[in-house]
Amino acid sequence: MNPFNQFRIDGQAIPFTPGQTIMDAALAAGVYIPHLCHNPELAPHGSCRVCVVRAGGRLVSSCTAPAAAGLEVESATPDIQASRRTILQLLFVEGNHICPACQKTGACQLQAVAYYTGMLAPHFTHFFPRRDLDASHPDFVIDFNRCILCELCVRASRDLDGKDVFAISGRGIASKLVIESPTGRLGDSRFSADDRAAHVCPVGAILPKRGGYSVPIGQRLYDRAPISTVGDVAANAGRTTP
């Protein structure tokens, strides 16, 4: 290992190649950093802030911060894990994430990251917003109650599918996912079941029809092993067991 092309995370040496981010180098080395909006197929985004680490004494998003030789990175410290739990608690109360009743339970990245960080209760008061459910597409349904605005579907549709089916409208608490179609409905858009955007959602917001419980609860991706060992939803599209 070239000592000039490595840094350390929580004391562990991590090799990297020039141009890699802290996140990409860590994942390549088998070191898990919690994340929601990161996808190796897409350009770094840095929106969810769950992947925050302390690098060189500064708090940075590991999915956007470049790896550098000799860099000392802290990821698993109590204060950083507490910060991640707070972000997750806010995400859980901002939408309607009722895990026992959700079709995605056991294969939900938000749920799995919450378990990994020790977030076992929402802490804050639930908003219980009233958001639409769009079942107009023949193959997929969108439950806007569960969207966490990670923009993975937005970026996948734009950068991988070349369709721009999704976008984020509004600012702050008024931000929401919107669909590019004459009616604003998914069924009237260019969205297809073969699109990459159909398979990158880390939560139960974009779901296939007629197959939600084909894999029994208890046999799903994160039922068998923690997210730190099997990776995220997008990297395991179609997998149900590790």
149-177 per-position pLDDT tens digit: 999 999 999 999 999 999 999 998 889 99
Q: Residue 194 CB: number of other CB atoms within 10 A? A: 9
Which three-class secondary structure state does DSSP give residue 21? strand
The pLDDT score that the predictor gives to residue 4 is 66
Residue 116 predicted with pLDDT over 90: yes
The pLDDT score that the predictor gives to residue 242 is 35
The pLDDT score that the predictor gives to residue 214 is 85
Supply 236's token pair: 């395991």
The pLDDT score that the predictor gives to residue 231 is 86
Token look-up 């197959």 returns 211
- Structural fold of domain 92-210: Alpha-Beta Plaits (3.30.70)
Angle between helices 109-117 and 78-94 (to 10 degrees): 140
For 34-83, the pLDDT digits (tens) are 999 999 899 888 889 999 999 999 999 999 999 999 999 999 999 999 99
Q: What is the pTM of this model?
A: 0.91
Query: What are the structural domain ranges in the chain?
Result: 3-76, 92-210
- Structural fold of domain 3-76: Ubiquitin-like (UB roll) (3.10.20)
Contact 203, 110 (CB under 8 A): yes
Q: To which H or E segment does residue 80 belong?
A: helix 78-94
- pLDDT band of residue 213 (cuts 50, 70, 90) is confident
The pLDDT score that the predictor gives to residue 172 is 86
Dmax over CA atoms of the chain, in Å, equals: 57
Beta bridge partners of 215: none
For 74-108, the pLDDT digits (tens) are 999 999 999 999 999 999 999 999 898 899 999 99
Summary mean pLDDT of the chain: 92
Q: Which of 54, 28, 224, 115 is nearest to 38 (CA)?
A: 28
Q: What mean pLDDT do residues 10-38 have?
A: 96
Tell me how far apart the alpha carbons of residues 203 and 233 are, in angstroms, rounded to a whole number: 9
The stretches of 156-239 forming alpha helices (DSSP H) are 221-224, 227-230
